[in-house]
Structure 1
Amino acid sequence: MLKCDIPTSEIAKGLKGRDLLTLLDYTSEEISYLLNYANQMKKNMLLGDMPPILAGKTLGMIFEKHSTRTRISFEVGMNQLGGQAMFMNARDMQIGRGESVYDTGHVLSEYLDGVMIRANSHEMVKELAEHSTIPIINGLTDIYHPCQALADLLTILEVKGSLAGYKLVYVGDGNNVAHSLVIAAAHMGMHVVVATPQGYEFNPNLLVKAKAIAEANEGSVLETTNPVEAVTDADVVYTDTWTSMGQEEEAAKRLEEFKDFQINDELVAYAKKDYMFLHCLPAHREEEVATSVIDGPNSYVFQQAGNRLHAQKAVLASLL
């Protein structure tokens, strides 16, 4: 398990009522706490031990983007913790017809105990948090996907037994998933390599911050345009779809420019024999990943997807 020198009671007290917008706002100790809590919650669930610690609480879930894993895992998670989750399509709300974020935040704070929002703009989510008195949880924005990153690290922790010192390689688009994954891994002292095609690099400002976090935790963050160099001796190989929601018009161009970044048998031959393959899903077989890899013995993508439930229950229980 992950070590933490700060008493867990103090960390728990510090998390109550907080927002989760980006893992840049969280300390390494707080992320360790959430991962340990998620790990314990998963074990307890398998033993049938599910105390209703969020009984009487209601989570509002706002969606501007389509969702499978985010919606189901948050809704099931609230139910398992004794609370309720309310699905709200942004197009059906007054915010979808021009009501200000200021008014929306104040109104929702009168009704709900927390909001999870899957949005187009991170700036809008930040504004919502500024004008709300309840925790706001980022379920995905154009820049970050922190809940996914917690599930990713939980999966690596389960399989490898620890995180510090392992080599994690992300190959593909330097997008929101990559941003949160690298930041989270840096907090845990992992050695991270990001391999992207030219023109699709990791956000340079976030790269500087991730490197500083990694250095403080005896890890490292490197960037390259060479996927073979990146994957060599990797413990974990991670990719995401080449064309995210809202980028459909770029699909043909991206297929051409990312073709040398496919995770296939030839590429993973450079990784360690016991490497893990991860993908946040949904996946496009024979595009960003070969079927033989994602459906092969080193793939943990469904365990990873399942861990969204447990990581998010830890977040909900801590913040709400």
Structure 2
Amino acid sequence: MSTAVELPTASRARTPGDLLRAYVGLVKPRVIELLLVTTIPAMLLAQRGLPPLGTFFATLVGGIMAAGSANALNCVADADIDSVMKRTKVRPLPKHSVSTRHALVFGLVLGVASFVFLWATTNLLAGVLAVATILFYVLVYTLVLKRRTAQNVVWGGAAGCMPVVIGWSAVTGTVEWPALVMFGIVFFWTPPHTWALATKFKDDYRRAGVPMLPVVATPVQVTRQIVLYTWATVLWSLLLVPATSWLYAVSAVVAGAWFLVVAHRLHAATKRGAKTNPMKLFHLSNTYLMLVCVGMSVDSLLGWPALGWPF
């Protein structure tokens, strides 16, 4: 399969404004928003307060550049898929708003720039981790896992977990156990979040030949996996309690209980054969992650003593 076929020129952006919107579309701003939601609390927890503002904003800018690079390169590699899916056919390459060659160069330049910027403004480790994330997302997830296995978002989702590790390393110059716990929270959260969305758009994925779990498994099997990964997410989030105070503990328990209730209700309704709305779980998963991250952020900014390990 070729991913570098030049697109026709007839429909390309006609004005500077159109071109700007096309390049903004390549970086997928809504995806970047989610990455920032997890990067900020990681930096705050690493500092147990507010890091130096220069480091804080440099990490966000460098992270945006790295994520934009990965997303633009993903658009190039997935142009054939995006062109046949209703949800993605309005992206810049299927619409021929920008050429494949220009999108590829744009993604590569952004990736190199993110490495240089993070190295210059934070440290080498953060820059290396950003590049490793881009390479994993494009080469491992997009080009290999996505098209070949229903476990694509389980293992490929590791790329979406890396912003917390990059944020932590930018502040501390190291990767310590709380960063790995935060990585695990996002890792276990990604499958139920993505499978809920994929359930709604499974016909799109089937038409594109992408073996997302809802395409290759029964609805009951899908919701069972959603419940299992939701439990894993909530239980794993509690491992962060020793590095935080009671405020985070309460937010993780309350948000987790809500997440679990909705996941179990979806599974129960599916087993009964009742009409279900998986997008309710999808939207709730976003709210859950936001609540956990807000709890973590406020907890860190207040700087209350961490609970520590009970043994």
Q: TM bucket by the smaller chain? A: under 0.3
- Structure 2 length normalisation: TM-score? 0.26
Q: Give the structure with the higher percent strand.
A: 1
- Structure 1 length normalisation: TM-score? 0.26
Q: Which has the larger radius of gyration?
A: 2
